[in-house]
Structure 1
Amino acid sequence: MTLAAVLATLTTVGYAAWYAVLCVADPFGRCRHCTGRRNRLDRRHRDCHWCDGTGRRVRVGRRLYDYFRTEYERGQP
């Protein structure tokens, strides 16, 4: 393999490991749809339906981890 391919692989593996640690340490990320603010243009002043107006939502990696963990636990006798 070339040096560029090795560096690209190591970078990808490092990023994936960092994201896994981040999902365990801090399972909530910021909501990219509203950032916790109400929509002022909406006449009914509804909260964001993604995060319920908190500005924080569960990370995708944490949802995947929880899904695989529950599937594993269901498969146990």
Structure 2
Amino acid sequence: MKQVVVNIQDNRYSFFLELMKSMDFVSINEEVDWFEISSESDKKLIQKGIDDIENGRIHSHQDVMKMGKKRILELKDNK
């Protein structure tokens, strides 16, 4: 089975989708996979995040909260 992804963002071209719906060999799945429509720069950032996780470059929620609290206190003291 072959799959074709059609991204119709302009309503002027919605007739194409209606034409395809009328064909008995076409199955329409209107769910959108957000990753497929993401920009290349977004996909690279997602991959960087995955690489960071796989290579242990992470911080726990607790550590982030401690760093945030420390930074807030530093800013408060510098006023």
The question of a shared fold, defined as TM-score above 0.5 by the shorter chain, is answered with no
Larger CA Rg, structure 1 vs 2: 2
Higher RCO by CA contacts (8 Å cutoff, separation 6 or greater): 1
TM-score, with structure 2 as normaliser: 0.35
TM-score, with structure 1 as normaliser: 0.36
